């Protein structure tokens, strides 16, 4: 059951084969073979590097890589064999996946794992050491469950999913095909539902599930709460970074990407194709439309009506300047009141002057 972990393909692939498999255009000797990816600055023979930003073009002239991946407008700046792509970063991702395939694992259940008698585990699945599979759980084909994972009762893990060590999936939650979950993630814990009565908190039972679509990635120590009544839903192809908190009854639309340390309070609906930068804080019971971009550390307290780029973070500045600006910001309310008073006074004077002219 120990996985093999090759650093890269042993003999590599020819540039012509990589061009065929990635859809890039070959420019140069297609018989050259590359075995690994590398950065422009540090790549050596046998590596393929990539350039996405013109500010690194100087490294393109000095790289020792065997080949490079570039955009069409940069292709003339190097004589190296190259793969030409309108999206070099995406082509690099494909090449890296081809040359550095994930470790393979032998199917089977580790002797120290605990699997409930009525759990359904596909023969092609791999269950790691000290993992626990609860009653009625269903583990699909080619699923890999890492060491120390806990899969709750009646939970469903779709085909080809990968759960790294110590992932917890609570009862009845559903993970779609090809989902990848990094270590320490918790899916389906109770949402923060409390009712106050007589100076004490009453816990509201959290009766929903977490339902995760296909091709979702969930970062290390990210937590997704189960719904209070209805389900918390993460749609297909959502990408979640590390240490994100998603509250109960949220819905995240497909192809949305959320960076680390974002907090999303309960019953928030985030649309499709959104991008949310790190440490953004999103209040509950609000809507964010499809295609919205939210800047780092931005605080959102109400629904966004139309797609766009929204940023609420104050740019970094020297501390003394920041203190002065903070004082001035606090005085803006007073300035606004004084301005309105001046406007009203000016309007009264103007009206009086107009009346005087009419009387004359």
| 51 φ/ψ sector (left φ>0, alpha ψ -120 to 50, else beta) | beta
Helices (H), the chain: 15-22, 57-62, 88-99, 319-330, 332-359
| Paired strand residues for 37 | 48
Q: Parallel, antiparallel, or unpaired for β 82-84 and 25-27?
A: antiparallel
Counting every residue, how long is the chain?
360
| Paired strand residues for 252 | 234, 270
What token pair was written down for 42? 């540090």
The verdict on whether 100 is a catalytic residue reads no
Under a CB-based contact definition with an 8 Å cutoff, are residues 236 and 213 in contact? Answer: yes
Under a CB-based contact definition with an 8 Å cutoff, are residues 100 and 36 in contact? Answer: yes
Angle at 261 (CA atoms; ends 236, 319), nearest 5 degrees: 145
| 3-state secondary structure at position 61 | helix
For 180-198, the three-class secondary structure string (H helix, E strand, C coil) is EECCCCEEEECCCCEEEEC
- Candidates 100, 110, 248, 285; catalytic one: 248
Angle at 145 (CA atoms; ends 144, 148), nearest 5 degrees: 155
CB atoms within 10 A of CB 222: 24
Find the distance separating the first CA and the last CA of the chain, reported in whole Å. 102
Residue whose tokens read 């996405």: 52
| Paired strand residues for 69 | 50, 83
Angle at 158 (CA atoms; ends 155, 161), nearest 5 degrees: 110
| 3-state secondary structure at position 120 | strand
Which positions are annotated as active-site residues?
Answer: 248
């Amino acid at each position: 059951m120990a996985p093999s972990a090759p650093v890269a393909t042993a003999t590599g692939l020819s540039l012509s084969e990589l061009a065929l498999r990635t859809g890039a255009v070959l420019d140069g000797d297609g018989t050259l073979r590359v075995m690994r990816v590398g950065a422009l600055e540090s790549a050596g023979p046998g590596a393929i590097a990539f350039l996405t930003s013109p500010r690194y073009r100087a490294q393109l002239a000095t790289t020792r890589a065997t080949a490079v991946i570039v955009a069409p407008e940069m292709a003339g700046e190097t004589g190296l064999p190259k793969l030409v792509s309108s999206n070099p970063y995406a082509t690099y991702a494909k090449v890296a996946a081809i040359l550095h395939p994930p470790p393979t694992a032998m199917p089977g259940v580790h002797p120290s794992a605990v699997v409930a008698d009525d759990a359904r585990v596909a023969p092609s699945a791999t269950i790691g050491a000290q993992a626990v599979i609860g009653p009625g759980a269903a583990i699909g084909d080619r699923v890999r469950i890492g060491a120390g994972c806990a899969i709750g009762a009646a939970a469903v893990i779709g085909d080809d999913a990968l759960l790294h060590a110590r992932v917890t999936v609570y009862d009845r939650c559903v993970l779609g095909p090809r989902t990848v979950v990094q270590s320490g993630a918790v899916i389906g814990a109770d949402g923060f539902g409390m009712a106050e009565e007589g100076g004490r908190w009453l816990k509201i039972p959290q009766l929903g599930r977490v339902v995760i679509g296909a091709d979702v990635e969930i970062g290390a120590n990210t937590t997704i709460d189960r719904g209070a009544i209805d389900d918390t839903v993460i749609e297909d192809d959502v990408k979640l970074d590390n240490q994100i908190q998603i509250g109960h009854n949220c819905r995240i639309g497909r192809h949305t990407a959320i960076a680390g340390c974002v907090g999303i309070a309960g019953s928030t609906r985030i649309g499709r194709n959104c991008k949310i930068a790190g440490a953004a804080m999103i209040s509950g019971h609000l809507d964010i439309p499809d295609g919205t971009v939210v800047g780092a550390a931005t605080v959102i307290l109400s629904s966004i009506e139309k797609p766009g780029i929204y940023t609420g973070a104050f740019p970094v500045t020297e501390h003394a300047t920041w203190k002065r600006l903070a004082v001035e910001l606090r005085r803006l309310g007073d300035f606004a009141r004084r301005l309105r008073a001046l406007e009203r006074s000016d309007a009264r004077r103007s009206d009086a002057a107009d009346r005087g002219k009419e009387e004359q």
